[in-house]
Amino acid sequence: MLEPKKVKYRKVQKGRMKGKAQVGSSLSFGEFGLQAVECGFVSARQIEAARICISRRVKRGGKLWIRIFPDKPLSKKPAEVRMGKGKGSPEQWVCVIKPGRMLYEIEGVQPDVAKDAMKLAGYKLPIKTRFVSRD
């Protein structure tokens, strides 16, 4: 699974997700893509599950680009622990997604196969997505 090799700070604040994606909102590498419609956190496990789903659907054909990377640690306190006593330990790595962000890109496959693969990958993600193409 994806995670950074080294980070400056072990724990970070959640922050706010407002506005649209400034960077990474257009097709840069492939012919077809999966674009986010709403904001949210996508975990490393979800990114990997969607990647496997796409690669299995296109039968290892074509080339796939993952345009997002989980670089934000989410902390969580253990179950049945009282309030206070500091912030919990880092539990998982997530990527902050804003509307318009391109998540995956693919090329070298038929349009109907690409659309089907991206649709299945969208089911694995916790945010609404849409299929986009160059034309």
Which residues in the chain come in under a pLDDT of 70? none
Give me the pLDDT at residue 1, please: 87
Give me the pLDDT at residue 22, please: 92
Q: Which CATH topology does 32-76+89-133 take? A: Aldehyde Oxidoreductase; domain 3 (3.90.1170)
Give me the pLDDT at residue 61, please: 86
Give me the pLDDT at residue 84, please: 94
Give me the pLDDT at residue 60, please: 81
Give me the pLDDT at residue 69, please: 98
Give me the pLDDT at residue 73, please: 97
Using H for helix, E for strand and C for coil, what is the string for the chain? Answer: CCCCCCCCCCCCCCCCCCCCCCCCCCCCCCCEEEEECCCEEEEHHHHHHHHHHHHHHCCCCCEEEECCCCCEEEEECCCCCCCCCCCCEEEEEEEEECCCCEEEEEECCCHHHHHHHHHHHHHCCCCCEEEEECC
Is the overall model pTM greater than 0.85, yes or no?
A: yes
Give me the pLDDT at residue 126, please: 97
